[in-house]
Structure formats: structure tokens, C-alpha cells
Amino acid sequence: MTSSRTAYDDPATPAQLRADCRETERRLAMTGVARAALRPSPSLRFEDHAQGLAKRDIDLLAAAHRLSAALGLDLD
């Protein structure tokens, strides 16, 4: 079997392939991901986090119902 086309042969020009890559990057917003990857990670130190914030009140009955619904259970 003879073929003039190799497995890596592509009919597109390098300029077209480069344009396709740039368009794909733009559509996937990879530039934002790259910027986020270069930012420093958040601090894990206790002192660097807000202090004295009030905690939310939790309605235990409502929380139990949400949990049972998520697990497919019927508590009624």
C-alpha cells in the first residue's frame, strides 16, 4: 500500500494551524487560566484571614431535609 500522505501530513499551512490554535485559546479563555496559575496562592496563616465574622445560623431541620433530598432519602 503506497500513499503520498504521511500520518503527520496536514493540508493546512502553519499560519492556518497557528491561527486555529490562537482561536481555540481565545475560546477556552486559557489566558485567564495562565494568569491565575501565575498568581500567588492564598495564605494559609490564621492571622491573614478575617477575624470576628459572625457565623450563619443553621436550621437543623432544613439542613436535614436538604441532606436527605440530596441522598434520595425520605424523612417525612
pLDDT in tens, 23-73: 888 887 767 777 888 899 989 998 888 888 887 888 999 999 999 999 988
pTM across the whole model? 0.30
Residue 25 lies in a domain: yes
- Give a yes or no: residue 29 inside a domain: yes
Domain count, the chain: 1
Extended strands (E) in the chain: none
Question: Tell me, what's the pLDDT at 6?
Answer: 63
Query: Has residue 53 been placed in a domain?
Result: no
Residue with cell 491573614: 48
For residue 27, being part of any structural domain is answered with yes
Residue 17 lies in a domain: yes
Q: Which of 51, 55, 73 is nearest to 64 (CA)?
A: 73
Q: Put residue 26 in one of left, alpha, beta given phi > 0 → left and psi -120 to 50 → alpha.
A: alpha
Q: Show the domain range for 34.
A: 13-39
